[in-house]
Structure formats: C-alpha cells, structure tokens
Amino acid sequence: MKRHILSVLAITLLLAATGAAQSNTKTVKAVVSGKVSADGKTLVGDHNTWSVNNPSSLAGLEGHLVKVKCRLYAATSEIFVRAVKLADTRIQYAANKDDSAFRR
C-alpha cells in the first residue's frame, strides 16, 4: 500500500515539474520585412526592432532590406529566422499619355 501511494506521489510530482518547465512564451510563424543591422543581430522593421536568435542566417546581408520567414517571440521581441529573401527594391515608373508633357 505504501509503495502504491509513493508511486502515485512520485508521478504527480514528476508531472507538476514537467508542466512548470514548459515556457509560457507563445511563438507565431510569421513573415517580417526590414533592414538588417550592421552587426546582423537585429532586424529593424516598420515599427519594431527584432533581436535575431540565429544571426548566422543573416550573414552577408548587413544593411540590406530583407523579407524573413521566422518564428516570432512577441513577448521578448525576438525572431528565429527560417528563410531569408532579399526584398524587391526596384522602382517602377509609370507614364500617362494624356499628361501635358506628351501634348504638342
């Protein structure tokens, strides 16, 4: 009987310790775009600055605009980069044929 009570108590403590060990931070799969800092450890977006958990994934892209698929930790303002793509920085011009510059 004592052995049974001790085993139930041990299992209960083990489950409680496992539950406490899990972190409460929520992660979200997201796409973030921004400029990579000079040291490659942060990504500066429109309204946020994200700390990069794996800066080796942004090596060689310092100072460039990038679009990053990542895991987002909003509580700590951190991201874990999964994929990187250079942002399209081409400028497109359009002309209107009815504009006064085209009339004679």
pLDDT of residue 94: 76
pLDDT of residue 17: 58
User: Residues 69-98: pLDDT tens digits?
Assistant: 999 998 899 999 999 999 877 777 777 777
Instruction: Give the pLDDT band (50/70/90) at residue 59.
Output: very high
**Ordered structural domains, the chain, with CATH:** 28-86 (2.40.50)
User: Residues 8-58: pLDDT tens digits?
Assistant: 666 776 666 555 555 556 788 999 999 999 999 999 988 889 999 999 999
pLDDT of residue 9: 65
Strand residues in the chain grouped as ranges (E)? 28-36, 42-44, 49-52, 65-73, 78-86
Distance between CA atoms of 84 and 90, rounded to whole angstroms? 18
